[in-house]
Each structure stands twice: as C-alpha cells, then as structure tokens.
C-alpha cells in the first residue's frame, strides 16, 4: 500500500508547518514512512493503516514542545479512526503505545515479560514520540492497539484515550471508604477524572465524596455534570482555608501553581496526572515521573513492599544513596539486596552482570535529598532510563528533610508530614469501555457536555489556539 498526503507538523517553536508524508508497505512486511521525500521512520511488521475520523486536543499536545521527544512530528493521540482494506467500514479507537505486545511481536523484551509493556524503552508513542499522530489524515497503528469500537457512540469514542488515562489514576490511587477526594483543574482531563471517579464509585458501590476545584465559571456546572458532589471556586475560597482537607488530590492542572496547591491541600496523597515538562516546587523531571508512573513515598518499613495493586511481584533490589541514614541501610539489608553509592555507582551497577537477563532497574531507590529525586528519575540526560523500575517508588529519608533548601519548602513540609505523591499515564481501553457501558448516564454527559468546540482538519492551528483558551474544555479536530 502507498498512502501519500500532506499534514501539519508541530515544531519546537510551538508552530505548525505543512509537510508531505508517504506510508509505503503493509502489515506483514513493515512500513517506510517518508517525510518530504526522505526516510523519516522505518517500521517492522504489525501495523495497520487507519484513516482518521477525528482527534482531540489535549494538554500534552499543548505542552508538546517541552517533552523530551524529537520534533517535528505530526502530533495528536486521542484518535477515532476507520479501517482501510480488509478493515473497511470498521471504526477503531487507538491505544497510543507502540510496543512489542501491541505489534504482536513473538520476541518480547523483559518489560513485556514483567507485565509492563507500555514502559519498554524501545516503545514509540502515537503523536508524542516519533510515530505520526492523529492530526494527519492517516495513521499507522500497532494491530493490537487498534480497538474495534462496539457499544460506545462515536461522540464518546473520541474521548476514549483520555478517559482511559483518567481511569488509570483511579486504579493507581483508589479512594478508601469515607475518603473526601478532590480533582484540581476540572477542565479537559480533570472533567474525565471526575467522570471516572463517579463511574468507579457507582460500579463498585464505593463510599467517598468528590469535590472539583476550579477558577472558571463555565467549569462549575460542567463539574457537576461529570459527577462532582461539590465545587470549590478558588477565586472565592483561599487555598489556606483548604490546607490538608482532601485525602487524595488528583492534580490535572499541568501547571506549577496547581501542583503547589495540590501539595498544600492534600491530607494523604497527591496523584500527579499531567505536567508541563518544567521544574515544579523545586523538583525536576516530574513529567518523566508521570511517564514512568512512579511514586514518591516517605521511607517507612511498610513502603518497602510497595507495588501496584494488580502486580504480584515482590521487591528485591534496592539502591540507597550515600547520604541516607545508617539505620535505614541496616534495616533494609535484613530483607533485600541493598546497593549503595552515588549516581555513577547506581548506573554502573545496573549495567553490570548482576542485572544481566533481568529488569535493568532497581525496585526501589532511597534518597536523602530533593536533588536525588530528579537524579533517580533521569540520571543520564542522554537516555530516557530511570534508576527505578516503572511503577516502582522513590522512598524519601525524612530524617534530615528539615535541612532541605528554601526552594523545596513545600515538598519539605509535604514529606515531613508523611504524605505521598503517585502518578499514572495511559489506561486500559477495554476497562474504560466496560465502565462507560455500565454507566450510560456518564457516557451521555460526556457526549453532551465535554466537547466544547469542533474544527475541521484545515483549521488545526485555530483548534490548537482554542484549546489553549481557558474558556474551552475539549477541542476536537474532525477529518470527515
């Protein structure tokens, strides 16, 4: 097959530029992607061509220039598409991770074998990392990432990727009975987190209260439509009056000020759902923290057994920075393989024979300073590898946290009080579809209230600008 078309590339200066693309190949033999006549990307077998129907604009698209992936690129990952050739007439939603498992490769890497294929270092990401995205008229989707759309209307289907991502936050940080949780920034992703919380509560018969926190009039009514029990307007209520009020705060603001607010108003946990690629509250690499779905927890003996609820693995290998207290080091040595040293030592250990033929990451890392948090997440600027395994945790030795510099005052107080930061990224489309089928009233609310603006594909720049406007909620670009 040969598909030739023009599309608008996103550039590092936050602008768009028209480019000519060509997809040459087939599912069985692989594909060559050409851009302006030169080879842009070579793909092996396991991809099917799809024609874009519509694609949503999300915060990741707006902040794309800050992410550590090459540009230019056709961005856009919230895709509803239709099949070509033998898939003619079928509609698909598309999971964004291009992995061994998604392509049906029979020789998976260690990340797939460990049950975390979406964290494989070799993965590409639709519309985010190299693989051309949904703001072009055609995409190449890994065969198992294209989910046949059945039982959900096309209106709601274009929201499937962000709804699944929203649901992942609830799976990773489920409210406990009697909790009072808050969604900070109930706009694009935040409204979907509200809908996911409401659906999860109803389907599971759970008992917790949901509050939306906003600064915009039009989001007050929207938040209630999405399932919030209460709405707080920060133009009226001071953050100081909300200190330690909410058991979990799901921060969907993608702003530094939002994250700082979340640190102050959470009683137990902040779940960081989206970031802007910049330093926040003094902490570096929080975008990469979300990409790797990592957690930052206070050092406590119970937290040494941390893993995601659906995982059955146990922690074995722990790296401890030199400045961590001797008490912690000695306590850990009774139950774990403990490695000690600085950042260079940690990298050399992971590259050694000790980690041959196994996950090349530590299960946990214990830090003594805030700078070591960033170093753990991305120790080497030339790679996208963390010291700690995806969905693992960084444990903070709080014995000297009072000595942290002033620029870390918010996180200093946060960790001193034993609070936690969790994060999540993409979600399971099948689970999201099932939840929407169980909750038709939420699906109808999504259809009727969340998409605020639609633009044709030749109005991509206008759609992108409108998505930046606080008066918009979800902006969708239509190709048909």
Say which CATH number the domain at 112 has: 3.90.180.10
The DSSP code for 163 is: H
The pLDDT assigned to 385 comes to 92
Counting Cα atoms < 13 Å in the Cβ hemisphere of 168 gives 24
Scan for tokens 């939840």, then name that residue. Answer: 435
Alpha carbon distance 268, 88 (integer Å) = 50
- Residue for token pair 């102050």: 264
Q: Are 172 and 165 in contact (CB under 8 A)?
A: no
What is d(CA 129, CA 94) in angstroms, rounded to the nearest whole number?
Answer: 15
The predicted pLDDT at position 277 comes to: 79
Kindly give, in sequence order, each residue whose CB lies less than 8 Å from that of residue 107, ignoring residues fewer than 6 positions away.
Answer: 100
Report pLDDT for 312: 85
The pLDDT of residue 292 is 95
Residues 6+ apart with CB under 8 A from 55: 76, 77, 78, 79, 80, 133, 134, 135, 158, 476, 477, 479
Instruction: Quote the pLDDT of residue 117.
Output: 92
Residue where one domain finishes, among candidates 150, 174, 193:
150
Cα separation of 301 and 205, whole Å?
32
Residue 448 lies in a domain: no
Q: Is residue 422 part of a domain?
A: no
Cα separation, 457 vs 452, whole angstroms = 16
Tell me if 456 is assigned to some domain: no
Instruction: Kindly state whether residue 13 falls inside one of the protein's structural domains.
Output: yes
Residue 131 lies in a domain: yes
Classify residue 255: in a domain, yes or no.
Answer: no
Contact 264, 410 (CB under 8 A): yes
Which of the 8 DSSP states describes residue 445? H
**Residue 210 falls inside a structural domain:** no
Q: Which of 408, 439, 459 is the last residue of a domain?
A: 408
For residue 39, the tally of other CB atoms under 10 A from its CB is: 11
User: Among 150, 179, 203, which residue terminates a domain?
Assistant: 150
SS3 124: strand
Low-confidence ranges of the chain (pLDDT < 50): none
Dihedral angle at the C-alpha atoms of 212, 215, 220, 222, nearest 10 degrees? -80
Task: Tell me if 57 sits within 8 A of 64, measured CB to CB.
Answer: no
Cα–Cα distances in angstroms (integers) from residue 403 to residues 107, 124, 297, 372, 406, in the given order: 49, 41, 18, 14, 9
Q: Which domain holds residue 335?
A: 294-408
Please check whether residue 318 lies inside any domain of the structure.
yes
When divided into structural domains, the chain yields a total of 2
């Amino acid at each position: 097959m040969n598909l030739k078309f023009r599309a608008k590339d996103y550039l590092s200066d936050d602008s768009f530029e028209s480019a000519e693309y060509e997809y040459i190949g087939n599912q069985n033999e692989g594909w060559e992607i050409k851009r302006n006549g030169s080879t842009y990307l070579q793909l092996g077998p396991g991809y099917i061509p799809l024609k874009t129907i519509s694609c949503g604009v999300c915060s990741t698209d707006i902040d794309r220039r800050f992410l550590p992936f090459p540009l230019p690129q056709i961005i856009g990952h919230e895709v509803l598409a239709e099949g070509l050739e033998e898939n003619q007439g079928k509609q698909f939603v598309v999971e964004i991770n291009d992995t061994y498992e998604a392509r049906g490769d029979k020789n998976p890497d260690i990340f797939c074998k460990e049950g975390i294929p979406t964290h494989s270092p070799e993965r590409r990401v639709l519309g985010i990392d190299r693989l051309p995205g949904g703001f072009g008229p055609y995409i190449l989707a890994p065969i198992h990432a294209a989910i046949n759309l059945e039982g959900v209307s096309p209106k709601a289907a274009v929201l499937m990727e962000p709804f699944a991502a929203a649901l992942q936050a609830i799976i990773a940080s489920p409210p406990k009975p009697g909790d009072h949780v808050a969604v900070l920034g109930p706009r694009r992703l935040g409204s979907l987190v509200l809908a996911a919380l409401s659906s999860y509560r109803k389907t599971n018969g759970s008992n917790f209260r949901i509050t939306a926190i906003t600064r915009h009039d039009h989001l007050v009514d929207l938040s209630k439509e999405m399932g919030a029990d209460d709405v707080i307007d920060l133009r009226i209520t001071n953050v100081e009056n909300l200190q330690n009020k909410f058991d979990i705060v799901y921060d969907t603001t993608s702003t530094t000020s939002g994250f700082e607010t979340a640190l102050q108003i959470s009683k137990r946990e902040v779940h960081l759902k989206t970031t802007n690629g910049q330093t926040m509250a003094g902490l570096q690499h929080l975008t990469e923290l979300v990409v790797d779905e990592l957690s930052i927890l206070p050092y406590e003996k119970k937290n040494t057994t941390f893993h995601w609820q659906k995982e059955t693995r146990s922690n074995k290998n722990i790296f401890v920075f030199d400045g961590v207290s001797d008490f912690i080091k000695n306590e850990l040595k009774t139950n774990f393989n403990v490695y000690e040293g600085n950042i260079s030592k940690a990298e050399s250990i992971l590259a050694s024979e000790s980690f041959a033929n196994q996950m090349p990451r530590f299960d946990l890392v214990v830090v003594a300073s805030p700078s070591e948090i960033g170093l753990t997440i991305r120790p080497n600027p030339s790679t996208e590898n963390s010291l700690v395994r995806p969905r693992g945790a960084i444990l903070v030795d709080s014995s000297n946290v009072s000595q942290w510099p002033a620029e870390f005052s918010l996180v200093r107080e946060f960790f001193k009080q034993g609070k936690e930061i969790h994060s999540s990224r993409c979600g399971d489309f099948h689970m999201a579809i099932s939840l929407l089928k169980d909750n038709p009233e939420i699906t109808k609310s999504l259809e009727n209230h969340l998409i605020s603006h639609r633009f044709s594909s030749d109005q991509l720049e206008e759609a992108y600008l409108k998505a930046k406007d606080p008066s918009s909620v979800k902006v969708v670009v239509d190709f048909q």
